[in-house]
Amino acid sequence: MKTGMLGIYDVDSNYANSLMEYISDKRGIPFRTVAFTELKALKEFAEKREIDILLISATAMTHDIAEYNIGKIILLTDGNVFAEYISYASIYKYQSSENIIREVINYYVDISTAEGVGSVLVDDVEVIGVYSPIGRSGKTTFAITLGQVLAKEKETLYINMEEFSALSKIFNKEYSGDLSDLMYFYKQNPESLPLKLKAIVNSINEMDYIPPSMFSNDLRSLDSSVWLGMIQAIINSGMYKTIILDLSNMVKDIYEVLEFCNVIYMPMNDDRMSLMKISEFEEFIFKTEQEELLDKIVKVKLPICNENQWDEDYFDKQIWGSLGDFIRKLLKEEVA
């Protein structure tokens, strides 16, 4: 992935340095960051090295700065901009640093698109599918908890591919971008996908996740080859060691996506109706001559997770509760 240069100029040294440190500590950010609190230092730096994006306090902006070696200037504002600088892009400076990063990356995507973004071929990324032909199996709770457990050891991305995931309600969060936006961007400009991905992902307990689509019609008609192309582009970005796909029949030709996975966890219940559905699923696999899928499937009977006892710490409790213990044991057994 191409690495750019991000400059931050604000006479408030606490603000400039705090924002620089926050951005520098973020994993996978596509640029190096340097902070300035004096105009002279900014000018001297720009004479030696191009700054791809400069975040500058709107009150410190002057016409001379536009003549420096800077690709794009973005004003950090308190909500007001002088009329003479109204043509410049702007970001509200007193929002969360995470939101500032997202807006900056979106601008960076725009200026990097023409040049393309490099990728690396990666062959040690594990793709884990979580799928079940039965309902109310605890599939999503298992998949999210699995992702958080794995994220303690390695970079992990969770992708929910259900029609109605309820993640925005689960995490009580509104998202500025989702899986539909990422897919649209991938189809338009696959080389720059890693940049857009970084602008969209959110995190919970060190696990990154892509907010699921709010309108499944955008994704229902996609061929499996498009899904697999996007997943491969994420793999090639080198950002993650594990990708978890929380799958449903919303995905067209889901069996081709399942085949792409290294392992498939299938949460199940032991009541008669559930067992008959799983049996019917397996019969279909044999009839369609896809028996190799069965070798990848690991059936898991999950410990009881009382989803009626819901609160904002629900998934924290799962990590260190009976489900988390079950997953750690499962992973340890597979390694052995």
Q: Which two tokens stand for residue 147?
A: 């992702």
User: What pLDDT sits at residue 165?
Assistant: 79
Q: Is the pLDDT assigned to residue 305 strictly greater than 70?
A: no
Q: Is the pLDDT assigned to residue 119 strictly greater than 50?
A: no
Cα separation, 194 vs 302, whole angstroms: 34
Backbone angles phi, psi at 204, to 5 degrees: -145, 120
- Cβ atoms of 2 and 113 within 8 Å: the answer is no
Neighbours of 140 (CB within 10 A): 20
User: What pLDDT sits at residue 167?
Assistant: 82
- Regarding beta strands 207-210 and 202-204, do their DSSP bridges make them parallel or antiparallel, or are they unpaired? antiparallel
- Bigger pLDDT: 192 vs 154: 154
Model confidence pLDDT, tens digit, residues 197-220: 888 899 999 999 999 887 777 788
What average pLDDT does the segment 292-313 reach?
A: 81
Question: What percentage of the chain has pLDDT greater than the value 70?
Answer: 92
Model confidence pLDDT, tens digit, residues 278-291: 999 999 999 888 88
User: What pLDDT sits at residue 97?
Assistant: 86
User: What pLDDT sits at residue 112?
Assistant: 60
Backbone angles phi, psi at 267, to 5 degrees: -60, 140
Q: Is the pLDDT assigned to residue 335 strictly greater than 80?
A: no
List, in sequence order, the alpha helices (H) in the chain: 13-25, 39-48, 97-112, 139-151, 167-170, 179-188, 193-200, 217-220, 224-236, 254-260, 272-287, 292-296, 314-320, 322-335
User: What pLDDT sits at residue 31?
Assistant: 81
Q: Using CB atoms within 10 A of its CB, is residue 216 exposed (0-12), middle (13-18) or buried (19+)?
A: middle
User: What pLDDT sits at residue 189?
Assistant: 82
Q: Which two tokens stand for residue 331?
A: 């992973």
What average pLDDT does the segment 307-316 reach?
A: 72
Task: Tell me what the pLDDT averaged over the chain comes to.
Answer: 87
User: What pLDDT sits at residue 163?
Assistant: 83
Model confidence pLDDT, tens digit, residues 55-65: 999 999 998 89
- Bigger pLDDT: 193 vs 328: 328
pLDDT band at 185 (very low <50, low <70, confident <90, very high): confident
User: What pLDDT sits at residue 120?
Assistant: 46
- Whole-angstrom CA distances from 111 to 92, 105, 116, 186 are 20, 10, 10, 16
User: What pLDDT sits at residue 117?
Assistant: 44
Can you list the domains of the chain with their CATH numbers?
Answer: 4-112 (3.40.50.10850), 126-335 (3.40.50.300)
Q: Is the pLDDT assigned to residue 96 strictly greater than 80?
A: yes
Model confidence pLDDT, tens digit, residues 242-268: 999 999 888 888 999 999 999 999 999
Sheet containing strand 242-247, strands side by side: 202-204, 207-210, 156-161, 242-247, 126-130, 263-267, 297-300
Minimal CA–CA distance to 76: which of 50, 99, 48, 45? 99
Q: Is the pLDDT assigned to residue 111 strictly greater than 70?
A: no
